[in-house]
Amino acid sequence: MALAPLIRVVACGSVDDGKSTLIGRLLAETGSVPEDQLHTARTVRRAGSTIPAGEIDFSLLTDGLEAEREQGITIDVAYRHLLLPSGRRAVIADAPGHEQYTRNMAVAASTADVAVLVVDAERGVRRQTFRHLTICALMGVRHVVIAVNKLDLVGYDREVYDRIAGDIAGAAARLEIPRVQVVPVSALGGDNVIDRSVTMTWYGGPTVLESIEAADADQVGDDEVRLPVQTIVRAPGFRGVAGTLASGSVSVGDKLVVSTRGETATVTRIAWLGGDRETVTAGEAVCFELEPEIDVARGDVLVGHAGVSVPADRFSADIVWMGEQPLAHGRSYLLVCGPITVPVTVTAVRHKLDVENGRQGAARVLTLNEVGRIEMATDRPVPLDPYQLSRHTGGFVLVDRLSADTVAGGMVRFALRRSSNVTAHAYEVDRSARERLNGHHAKVVWLTGLSGSGKSTIADAAERALHAQGVRTFVLDGDNVRSGLNKDLGFTPEDRAENVRRVAEVAKLMMSSGVVVLVALVSPFRSDRRNARDLFDAGDFVEVFVDTPLDVCRERDVKGLYAKAAGGELPNLSGVGQDYEPPLDPELVVSGTGDVERSVEAVVAAVLASGDS
């Protein structure tokens, strides 16, 4: 037996607009709250509360954290079950209103069918209101209920309601939200929450509860079959492909396609909790037996025969940035979409969005809570759909590769055409052939350290020593590269990330030509160096830390950079105005203050360590 339809609701809006009171009243007056919790809400009072003892303080029914009760604010998303008069169930996510907790609100909106956006009638529409409305639209919420709250504080004035409805209508139209219902409300007095207001007789529309119940739980792309494979179930005489059906419906006899490879199989059995089924629909955990037994693994996506999406490795996407550190193009993150986890590089920040007027502004970075459009490249083709087609296989999060923090929620707009227009050609004369001709293996030696630490000096001497032994080499020096290929880049963290990315790609190409590449680059951030390392196979990348104290580098100051930094002319010099993150586990550490010959010998030994060079 299929479960009853569930409506997912996100309640959002600016801080102190009255979300908790509105949700609390919905819960209390629909019998969705245990009696002991109601008793507590009648007897406990926050400091400064004006609600008489014996009456219910509805806001206390949703604030689960002690800090929330003390401050009278919502910090984390709280989920509450709401019993609807029709017998359907709803889950309300009470999202924080503070700007600093916008990331929590975005997470709640990502699974919502309906949004209840609360606006304080006295304060009107605020920037955070627009931000929440924009995030709801980006997250694919198709039904938004605007609850204009606290009408009792403005004398139930219809003009106030009309003005706010007009303010929000333009933004909703611009964001192309299909269904918007504006309801005048007094959550404290109960007007138009459950029952119609006897005071605002000028309003003839539905109440908040009626609006929620009338909302369809449909979502875009529900007709397209998408099954992200979670696991393979094996038993004697049985091999099933299991996961939660993200969208569409599947019946016995339907054909399914592995989106990454195009292999097709027929569903011969649907094993389900409680017995076999003939048909399953979106949201149900299923296990399909397929004929023939095609190669399917966790991370693959099974799609309907008529809705095959072509895997791609370059995408345009809208994101909500949640990281404390700004998003920088050129930096690598992990993209997570269902069972898919793949390294991804943000190749461009196209624009950031002004949430109040919808204007697109030029940007190279996105900071906390900003919304923008990016382009990104995955390290292998993945079957991501446009978000408008499927929120389940078109929505993703970005994860910082060092801290493992979730730094962004994103929605794929489309796969870039150049993704399918570019195909790597396998030449017969490859790296192995060149290495045999050269008589040694290729390798990349990445020297990192502060400016003036001695990287270029050591690289220069090491190249001479290797050259004398017949090893084909080349040095990619930071300043030399910036005078040509990277002359368009500055020294901000995002430009440094792009600088490292380009140099690493060039080093990889040169290594493919069969030479030993010595890179002398400050490359101050660990994440950027790790991204560079990830381009290479194990053993092909040797990180060398040229360890020289900052004071020594300052004294040397061979390029006059430290003098400029002291004079305020160079604010982003590593180690002075910008952090330098020394390697935690480099293959080699050499002293920049000791005998240069010994450092050179160590680098040469690292190159020759395999005995093949």
Catalytic residues: 523
Q: Quick one: which of 304, 315, 313, 314 has its CA closest to 259?
A: 304
What are the Cα distances from residue 140, in Å, to 105, 135, 380, 390, 413? Answer: 14, 9, 27, 9, 12
**415 in Cβ contact with 310 (< 8 Å):** yes
Tokens at 62, concatenated: 């949703």
Phi and psi torsions of 327, nearest 5°:
-75, 130
Burial classification of residue 539, based on how many CB atoms lie within 10 Å of its CB (0-12 exposed, 13-18 middle, 19 or more buried):
exposed
What lies within 8 Å, CB to CB, of 165 at 6+ separation is 146, 148, 182
Say whether 604 sits in a helix, a strand or coil. Answer: helix
DSSP annotation of 536 reads S
Q: Quick one: which of 90, 137, 100, 95 has its CA closest to 118?
A: 95
Tokens at 559, concatenated: 């390029």
Q: Quick one: which of 345, 314, 319, 320 has its CA closest to 330?
A: 345
Q: Quick one: which of 269, 275, 274, 219 has its CA closest to 248?
A: 219
Q: Quick one: which of 390, 343, 378, 345 has its CA closest to 497?
A: 345
What lies within 8 Å, CB to CB, of 393 at 6+ separation is 226, 228, 246, 247, 301, 309, 337, 338, 383, 384, 385
Nearest 10 degrees: CA dihedral of 537, 541, 542, 544? -140
Tokens at 294, concatenated: 């095609």
Neighbours of 106 (CB within 10 A): 27
Residue with tokens 């990619």: 476
Burial classification of residue 491, based on how many CB atoms lie within 10 Å of its CB (0-12 exposed, 13-18 middle, 19 or more buried):
middle
What are the Cα distances from residue 451, in Å, to 122, 488, 551? Answer: 57, 20, 11
**How open is the CA angle 497-502-507, to the nearest 5 degrees?**
125
Prior bond of 583 cis (ω within 30°): no
Cα diameter, the chain: 95
- Cα–Cα dist 79/8, whole Å: 10
Relative to beta strand 143-149, strand 179-184 is parallel
Tokens at 16, concatenated: 């102190």
